[in-house]
Amino acid sequence: MLLEVRDLHVHYQKVAALKGISLQVPSGGIVTIIGANGAGKSTTLRAISGLVRPSKGEIHFDGQRIDNLPPEQIVGRGIAHVPEGRRVFPDLSVEENLRIGAFLRADKDGIESDLEDVFRRFPRLKERRTQRARTLSGGEQQMVAIGRALMSGPKLLLLDEPSMGLSPVVVQEIARIVADIADTGVPVILVEGNRHRRLGGQGRRPAHQ
């Protein structure tokens, strides 16, 4: 397994946000976590990416334990996290936002190749590469957020409610791209809520729910 989460507990001060979740992610495909607001879905991703520290349990990635590592080291090991709400840098251009995703990389040729690959996946971003991110639609900002994560060269992609607030047409487009990413061998953990349109229902699968 590429990722193993074992008996994970997370507390925010004295409040338990996660109580003993375990999951496994293979080296390909899409794993979907579905649940109501407050069920701990986002907290699970935040714990995997090092943004919160577990109070109990272990996280193993690519054969090594990572739950005691800072976020930048976890990114460097190959986990990219697209948080809920997109969180682009509004006053930077589309291309500048994308290049920020490669801040830990030194392989200039690889960065340029991956940038062109992002533009291939998201042609609208190529058309808007010099445009400030705050002027984009919600769907285009989601594309920027996913593209920025891909620029890190991830082995695992974490997506937190990427369909929230998007139109059905954009949801279908994002779902197609997520399935394509998984087909290239980069597994995806996809978090979706109960009350809004899901990517999992738009593509070919998820592999697990």
The answer as to whether 208 is a domain residue is no
Q: Per DSSP, which regions of the chain are E strands?
A: 3-12, 15-25, 30-35, 56-61, 64-65, 79-82, 156-160, 188-193
In order along the chain (209 residues), what is the average pLDDT of each group of 10 residues?
96 92 90 86 96 96 96 95 90 97 94 97 96 95 96 96 88 91 93 65 43
The answer as to whether 198 is a domain residue is no
CB 133 within 8 A of CB 89: yes
Please give the tally of structural domains in the chain: 1
The answer as to whether 144 is a domain residue is yes
The answer as to whether 202 is a domain residue is no
Which CATH number do you get for residue 161?
A: 3.40.50.300
- Cβ contacts of residue 76 below 8 Å, gap of 6+? 104
The answer as to whether 48 is a domain residue is yes
The answer as to whether 141 is a domain residue is yes
Please give the Cα distance from 102 to 107 (Å, whole number): 9
Identify residue 46 by its one-letter amino acid code. R
The number of beta carbons lying within 10 Å of the beta carbon of residue 41 is 23
pLDDT of amino acid 27: 85
Q: Which domain holds residue 51?
A: 3-193
Angle, in degrees to the nearest 10, between helices 108-121 and 168-183: 140
pTM for the whole thing?
0.88
pLDDT of amino acid 179: 93
Q: Is 18 helix (H, G, I), strand (E, B) or coil?
A: strand
pLDDT of amino acid 193: 79
pLDDT of amino acid 133: 96
Phi-psi region of 134 (alpha: psi -120 to 50; beta: other; left: phi over 0): alpha
Q: Is 60 helix (H, G, I), strand (E, B) or coil?
A: strand
The answer as to whether 203 is a domain residue is no
Closest CA to 203 of 32, 83, 24, 26: 32
